[in-house]
Amino acid sequence: MQATGCEILSIGYDRIYELSVHIVNTENEIMFFRRNVSKRKKISEMVLDFAGDYIAMGEDIEEKQQYLNSAVSAWNIACLDEKARKRSIKKYMSEYRKLNPTQSKQDFRDVEEDLRLLIKQKEKLYPEDRVQIVTANIQEINRKIHVTVASLNIN
């Protein structure tokens, strides 16, 4: 195959890159181009991997959004170093108490336990991902649940 004075030697796909192409130009120099598109999962897929069952506990879309919000908080806290993580858990629980003054002490313990379990699950599945989630929304489209996530890389 020839294109503008160049011959394509091979086109291949691999696990890391979507497309690689070997080309010989008119001076018989071999050039190698690689389209660097990672096959990495979307953040929304990762959120569903580590917290999908938790989110599914919501009985309606509003409750599922609340569970998603908690999962996002856990994700973001998990991205912090250990010292900052402890402060953030404490701050999260303090804010939760302010917003939910009628909850029992057991309810607060359960919420904190859920948060810690989600953090542990995120660390187990995606220990290297340090992307902060800015916003996440859940919606039902054609009877299927869709999660949309906006994130910010802090590495």
Quick: pLDDT tens for 17-65.
Answer: 334 444 445 555 555 554 444 567 889 999 999 999 999 999 999 999 9
Query: Which residue do the tokens 């989110």 mark?
Result: 55
Strands (E), the chain: 2-3, 6-12, 19-24, 30-35, 131-141, 144-153
Cα 61 to Cα 56: distance, rounded to the nearest angstrom: 10
Percent share of the chain, pLDDT over 90 = 65
- Tell me the backbone φ, ψ of residue 150, rounded to 5 degrees: -110, 135
Decide: helix, strand or coil at residue 104.
coil
Predicted confidence (pLDDT) per residue in 90-109, tens digit: 999 999 999 999 999 999 99
Q: Among the listed ranges 5-19, 46-60, 79-93, 127-141, which one has the minimum average pLDDT value?
A: 5-19
